[in-house]
């Protein structure tokens, strides 16, 4: 009997300690003024009997009296986005279909690896055949890939995934913290995209979408209705009031528009649109008051709604906030001018403060978007010439904005941004762009001849790694050899390729906008090079160094490889009416939402 008692005493003490930790160690911004006294006991009881804490609808701390409804004014005409493609010669169709088939085969290889080794887990580990729990353990890759399965005609695989949805319980997770942004774009976006693509044939998709949205909606239950982006959901489940963080990533605040708007359109429930519209109103109110008017800083104080950070970029931590402006305009059928105003203010500032032309030996007229650290509005704001794979979405976004807002003078900018990312792929030994690199910027965008001496100087000035090198051309040449720097590149700060989709995203969009076959040619080069060095036994793996012709692989295959990257490669070789940009809006995870007609 003594042995039996000991067996239960230790686990019980551990569970009580965990419960104490949950309720005594509150996250930044948590409010302890309202606590249900029975909550800790309930959680301990749930843990004892082996069940999880479950989320259910409950009385809100800060309920909404009057919801902001979807705009009801008459829709305004939106110009056509896609190029008017002519009839295709039969021999062109044969070659295009062969390329499309190769992409589909790559997808099937990675999907099989996931299905055989990581089914109903978040992500496959493509080298070991294991799995990772990255996003609450709700089968992120499965949900994220639903519409890719539909698009590629993998009917049996889609049916199997659809059946598996019944086994996913969005009311509970072992994760104590939820990344609300990632959950929104991958799970909610994936379910809504599949629902729209199948014209509502499968009600379970909308049912599950509503479940995950109602769960996420709890993160908005704050005093100012701004979400707690890294949400301590168990505290909310226990009746603890929460507050948004004083350090919220911009993209994690401003990237709910499409998903929540589409759900309100489909369900008729205004609460989802209300949630995102309050964010948009606050963003617009602050847009012209930041240190770089027109742009929002990388970090936002969502608790006090202050936008005082001095760092500005359209790359990681900011990207999809800008991407969603023209897309939300389209999804709302241009019933409100708000998102056009916000986009036009942003694009003017992006052109003035962030875009730069790099030096290239062959004088290519290309553009990249850098970063700015503005200590004050009056300070001289020098562009940090950082190119980043995550920023490669911008060419497609500017292209869409140029079309839907009749800003035709910006279509060449969209081309140059997209061509810049293609160039960054082509100059690397693997034919793949790295995560982050720094370039030697032109003094003038229109007059930019190659200057070898300037390139050497810019390499020597890259802090802090090269701070103590000699101020000589020989020293710069030694760094070029040591770090394998292509002409015009001053540093490769992160040499990995993480299976990212942003470059092919813009290449696809620019092909659909312009009909220029060079984008299909570039896509084929990119795909062949990526498939060659990332293919592994169980799927496709991220790589360590794009400068190596045979780079080492990493045991990572994020869900966006199947949800985005391969989808865009497949679509650029598809018939142009498959996921037409005049019929669908794609969220930042490439999930297609039907534009209301």
Residues marked active site are found at 435
First-to-last C-alpha distance (Å) of the chain: 71
Q: Which helix (H) or strand (E) holds 285?
A: helix 271-287
Strand residues in 542-596 grouped as ranges (E): 584-586, 592-594
Neighbours of 261 (CB within 10 A): 23
State the DSSP string of 189-239: HHHHHHHHHTTT--HHHHHHHHHHHHHHHGGG-STT----SEE-HHHHHTT
Query: How many CA atoms lie within 13 Å of 377's alpha carbon, on the beta-carbon side?
Result: 10
Query: Which pair of structure tokens corresponds to residue 59?
Result: 């009385």
The rounded distance, in Å, linking the Cα atoms of 213 and 182 is 12
Beta-bridge mates of residue 490: none
Tokens of 83: 């190029």
For 274, phi then psi, to 5°, come to -55, -40
What the block records as the tokens of 180 is 């609300």
150 CB contacts (<8 Å, ≥6 apart)?
A: 158, 194, 197, 198
- SS3 at position 300: strand
Calpha distance 570→562 (Å, rounded) = 11
3 state SS for 131-188:
EECCCCCCCHHHHHCHHHHHHCCCHHHHHHHHHHHHHCCCCCCCCCCEEHHHHHHHHH
């Amino acid at each position: 009997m003594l042995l039996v008692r000991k067996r239960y005493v230790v686990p019980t003490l551990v569970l009580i300690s965990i419960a104490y930790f949950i309720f005594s160690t509150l996250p930044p911004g948590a409010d302890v003024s309202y606590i249900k006294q029975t909550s800790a006991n309930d959680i301990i009881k749930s843990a004892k009997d082996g069940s999880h804490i479950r989320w259910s609808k409950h009385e809100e701390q800060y309920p909404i009296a009057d919801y902001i409804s979807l705009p009801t004014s008459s829709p305004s005409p939106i110009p056509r986005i896609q190029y008017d493609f002519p009839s295709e010669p039969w021999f062109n169709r044969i070659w295009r279909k062969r390329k499309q088939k190769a992409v589909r085969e790559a997808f099937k290889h990675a999907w099989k690896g996931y299905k055989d080794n990581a089914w109903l887990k978040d992500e496959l580990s493509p080298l070991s055949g294991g799995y990772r729990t990255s996003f609450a353990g709700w089968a992120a890759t499965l949900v994220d890939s639903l519409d890719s399965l539909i698009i590629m005609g993998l009917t049996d695989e889609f049916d199997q995934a659809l059946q598996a949805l019944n086994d996913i319980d969005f009311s509970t997770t072992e994760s104590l913290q939820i990344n609300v942004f990632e959950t929104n774009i991958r799970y909610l976006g994936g379910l809504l995209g599949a629902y729209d693509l199948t014209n509502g044939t499968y009600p379970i998709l909308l049912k599950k979408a509503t479940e995950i949205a109602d769960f996420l909606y709890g993160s908005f239950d704050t005093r100012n209705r701004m979400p707690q982006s890294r949400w301590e959901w168990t505290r909310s489940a226990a009746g603890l009031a929460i507050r948004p963080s004083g350090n919220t990533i911009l993209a994690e605040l401003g990237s709910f528009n499409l998903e929540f708007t589409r759900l309100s359109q489909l369900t008729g429930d205004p609460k989802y649109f209300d949630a995102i519209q309050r964010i948009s109103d606050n963003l617009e109110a602050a847009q012209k008051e930041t240190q770089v008017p027109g742009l929002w800083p990388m970090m936002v104080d969502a608790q006090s709604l202050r936008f005082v950070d001095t760092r500005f970029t359209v790359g990681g931590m900011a990207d999809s906030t800008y991407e969603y402006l023209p897309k939300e305009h389209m999804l709302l059928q241009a019933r409100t001018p708000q998102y056009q105003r916000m986009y036009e203010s942003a694009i003017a500032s992006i052109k003035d403060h962030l875009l730069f032309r790099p030096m290239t030996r062959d004088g290519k007229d290309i553009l990249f978007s850098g970063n700015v650290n503005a200590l004050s509005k009056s300070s001289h704001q020098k562009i940090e010439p950082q190119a980043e794979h995550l920023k490669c979405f911008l060419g497609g976004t500017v292209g869409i904005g140029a079309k839907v807002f009749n800003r035709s003078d910006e279509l060449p900018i969209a081309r140059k941004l997209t061509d810049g990312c293609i160039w960054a792929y082509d100059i690397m030994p693997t034919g793949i762009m790295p995560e982050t690199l720094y370039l030697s910027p032109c003094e003038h965008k229109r007059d930019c001849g190659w200057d070898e001496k300037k390139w050497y100087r810019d390499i020597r000035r890259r802090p802090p790694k090269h701070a103590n090198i000699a101020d000589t051309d020989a020293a710069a040449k030694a760094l070029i050899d040591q770090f394998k720097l292509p002409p015009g590149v001053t540093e490769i700060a992160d040499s990995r390729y993480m299976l990212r989709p942003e470059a092919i995203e813009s290449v696809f969009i620019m092909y659909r906008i312009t009909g220029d076959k060079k984008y299909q040619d570039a896509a084929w080069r990119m795909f062949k090079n990526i498939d060659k060095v990332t293919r592994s036994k169980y799927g496709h793996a991220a790589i360590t160094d794009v400068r190596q012709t045979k780079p080492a692989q990493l045991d990572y295959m994020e869900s966006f490889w199947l949800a985005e990257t391969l989808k865009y490669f497949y679509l650029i070789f598809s018939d142009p009416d498959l996921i037409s940009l005049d019929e669908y809006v794609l969220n930042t995870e490439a999930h297609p939402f039907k534009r209301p007609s």
